[in-house]
A and B are shown apart, each in its own frame.
Chain A
Amino acid sequence: MKVLVTGATGFVGINLIRSLTNTEHDPVVFARDTNGMNGIPEEISAVEGDITQQGDVERALEKHGCDGIVHLAAIHGRYGAAETQGGIDWDLMREVNVNGSRSVFEAAEDYGVETVVFAGTLKSHPYFEEASDADYIKSKREAQSLLQNNEYEFDWTVVNPSTVVGPHDFRLAHFAMYQLICSNLILAPPMYIPKKINFVHARDVADSIIHYLENPTGACELVTGENTTMRRYCRLISGAKKGNCMIMPLPFAGLYLPFVLDMANRFGLVPVSSSQFNWSDRSVPQEIAECGPIEHKSTKEIVEDTHAWYSDAELL
């Protein structure tokens, strides 16, 4: 299948393109700027365009004769990308994440694409009926509903992954914790709180997307890893590096740690502030942990592969 991938230069996109090259499918990158695309092998075809312009998407489909689309492009306002600096408002998020998705789906319909896989987010899955009304989640839900409510001719699946971690993290979204632990031989500064996480390997998300390209379900599908504690995650990072440093238990750290960190940062004692770490509980209810169409990698494998990538990139 010839697959147009929007958001191909993002974290999941790079991993997807690399996984697709090991299959019978043939990816085509769709990006606003195709110069200097990090992590994308040079031989991959690429076409420039904007997802909010339906004509751009149609031209790309036509030029390369695509019969599948993986629609990953979105803005989430987390990583300080150029268009999100200074904060993003709901109008912009809606324009890209909802109207952009609409133009991708309409282009797919007009051109006669067979299959579409769309990346939602964990909390936009119908399982989370009482989900928070964060703008990003809201925009993903609205985009998903376009697939659910319109009777498109093409087959589709929405993939709803938990927190994606793994190699090719060019935005260094998960780097801070690895750097902190790898820069301390004996004792890691306690930047973790007694909460749980659920991380899924970027390659597992990529392989799940490929699975649903081949076996569309017309539904939202969860892709999650194992639930584990923040402290165990830190211990795994420590285990992945040379020399195992101590990760102390920190009771009730959630109550005081962000405050202490920000104070220390204000006085120039540490180079990081609490906003660089995610302090929320990122686990999923146990009944939907380890979901997905393929055998998922353990948190240990996720940590080892991520650590190896940061190391190979000479960052650690």
Chain B
Amino acid sequence: MTRNQVGIVGAGEIAEVGHLPVYSSHSSIDVVAVADLNRERAKTVANDYGISHIYEDGQSLIDQEPLDAISICTPPSTHREFFISAAERGMDIFCEKPFALSVQDAERMHQAASQNDITTSIGYSPRYLRNYKKVASYVNTGLLGEPLEGSVRCIVPPPSTSWRYDPDVSGGGIITDMAPHWFDFYLELFETVPEVKDVNLNNIHTSDVEDYGSFELSFGDVDIDMTFRWMKSGMTSKAIRENKLVAEEGNVQFDRDYLEGNITGNGVRFKRGKAPVLSLGPLLNVYPRVNESSHQKAVSEFVEYLSKGTGDIVGSKRGLEVSRIKSRIYNGADL
């Protein structure tokens, strides 16, 4: 079996949690190089995963290493440069989200990927969660009937990394940070570009980027109301990432943990995609213990695609579509 030589640009948390554990567990992958502005961090990661080449600068890694694929785990302001030069060298790319700072950047990145005929994936993760996959299956098979309306409510703690509050580096606040995950999921589900309506953005606890956003995406006749909010810093309440979808034959309510709903009069309930092991209706449901990392799954599907040519990957075209929705939201709001 040919082994794929992979490099990592950006050795921060996402690389350590989402990428390196997956790459190191696949026999078809050799991670041969890592780059980080913080050389000490790159060194630690290299030691932990037996990576032989260390760089301080991502561009040098791309220029000097003959790689098959690369993971871009740096802040968004660096994506365009790394992505395009890796694409021009024929490397397959897993790019973390936010994909690009602007629609223009996303267009150029998508163009580079198409022209060089490379495989890409982007770190949009809900589509890989079992509960979300179930809902997608109910819609795609027609079990739920025609979708009518839905909602997304995402209330999460604010990020701890400082660059996310600098729009020149991050591209925006919570709409850039969290919403693309759902844009990807619903674009995949409805296979149509939505209209953006009723945009309301605000910075309640932040100064340069929005920490609140609400709007409606209309996918044909199906309106999905979306609300995103970073909690006040220091708050310890549990994050909420809940979805509701109402269709002609039933409705479902789901997040990564629980999926409950009713399909043609039959109740369904799952925890992380698994049925209970003991069920007495609403009185008692005992579920098996299940761990699930959507991010690792995303990288894992990318690896599958590299080695076998099949896998659920997110093409750069989706990155462009998501960037366009995001841009319409920012342009439709008076921040």
A residues with a Cβ closer than 8 A to B are 36-39, 79-80, 170-172, 175-176, 179-180, 182-186, 189, 268-272, 313-316
Known contacts A36-B146, A38-B143, A271-B267, A186 near B137 by CB under 8 Å = no
Residue pairs across A and B with Cβ atoms less than 8 A apart, 18 shown, are A36-B142, A36-B146, A37-B142, A38-B143, A176-B266, A179-B275, A184-B277, A185-B277, A189-B280, A268-B281, A269-B280, A270-B280, A271-B267, A314-B133, A314-B138, A315-B263, A315-B268, A316-B275
Cβ contact within 8 Å between B141 and A38: yes
Which residues of B sit under 8 angstroms from A316, Cβ to Cβ?
275
**Residue of A at shortest CB range from B141?**
A313
B residues with a Cβ closer than 8 A to A are 133-134, 137-138, 141-143, 145-146, 263-268, 275-283, 285, 288
Cβ contact within 8 Å between A268 and B143: no
Which residues of A sit under 8 angstroms from B141, Cβ to Cβ?
38-39, 170, 313
Cβ contact within 8 Å between A180 and B279: yes
**Residue of B at shortest CB range from A271?**
B281
Which residues of A sit under 8 angstroms from B283, Cβ to Cβ?
268-270
* Nearest chain B CB to A168 CB, angstrom units: 10
Cβ contact within 8 Å between A270 and B281: yes
Cβ contact within 8 Å between B142 and A172: no
Known contacts A175-B266, A176-B266, A268-B283, A186 near B146 by CB under 8 Å = no
Complex: A289 Cα to B85 Cα, angstroms: 71
Complex: A36 Cα to B280 Cα, angstroms: 35
Complex: A179 Cα to B280 Cα, angstroms: 12
Known contacts A269-B283, A314-B133, A170 near B266 by CB under 8 Å = no
Cβ contact within 8 Å between A172 and B264: yes
**Residue of B at shortest CB range from A241?**
B275
Cβ contact within 8 Å between B266 and A172: yes
Which residues of A sit under 8 angstroms from B268, Cβ to Cβ?
179, 315
Secondary structure at chain A's binding surface: helix, strand, loop or mixed?
loop
- Selected from B137, B278, B280, B288, the residue in CB contact (under 8 A) with A314 is B137
**Residue of A at shortest CB range from B131?**
A314
* Nearest chain A CB to B5 CB, angstrom units: 37
Further pairs besides A170-B264, A171-B264: 12, Cβ < 8 Å: A38-B142, A172-B264, A179-B266, A182-B275, A184-B278, A189-B280, A268-B282, A271-B281, A272-B281, A314-B138, A315-B268, A316-B275
Complex: A263 Cα to B200 Cα, angstroms: 49
Complex: A315 Cα to B281 Cα, angstroms: 16
Which residues of A sit under 8 angstroms from B138, Cβ to Cβ?
313-314
A-B interface, 8 closest residue pairs, ranked by CB to CB distance from nearest: A38-B142, A185-B277, A271-B281, A183-B279, A270-B281, A314-B134, A314-B137, A183-B276
Which residues of A sit under 8 angstroms from B279, Cβ to Cβ?
180, 183-184, 189
* Nearest chain B CB to A70 CB, angstrom units: 22
**Residue of A at shortest CB range from B285?**
A183
Complex: A189 Cα to B137 Cα, angstroms: 28
Complex: A272 Cα to B283 Cα, angstroms: 12
Complex: A271 Cα to B265 Cα, angstroms: 11
Complex: A189 Cα to B278 Cα, angstroms: 9
Known contacts A38-B143, A170-B143, A269-B281, A183 near B275 by CB under 8 Å = yes
Which residues of B sit under 8 angstroms from A270, Cβ to Cβ?
280-281, 283
* Nearest chain B CB to A161 CB, angstrom units: 22
* Nearest chain A CB to B68 CB, angstrom units: 34
Which residues of B sit under 8 angstroms from A315, Cβ to Cβ?
143, 263, 268
Which residues of B sit under 8 angstroms from A36, Cβ to Cβ?
142, 145-146
Which residues of B sit under 8 angstroms from A184, Cβ to Cβ?
276-279
**Residue of A at shortest CB range from B286?**
A185
Cβ contact within 8 Å between A172 and B263: yes
Complex: A170 Cα to B134 Cα, angstroms: 15
Known contacts A271-B267, A314-B134, A39 near B277 by CB under 8 Å = no
Which residues of B sit under 8 angstroms from A79, Cβ to Cβ?
264
* Nearest chain B CB to A262 CB, angstrom units: 13
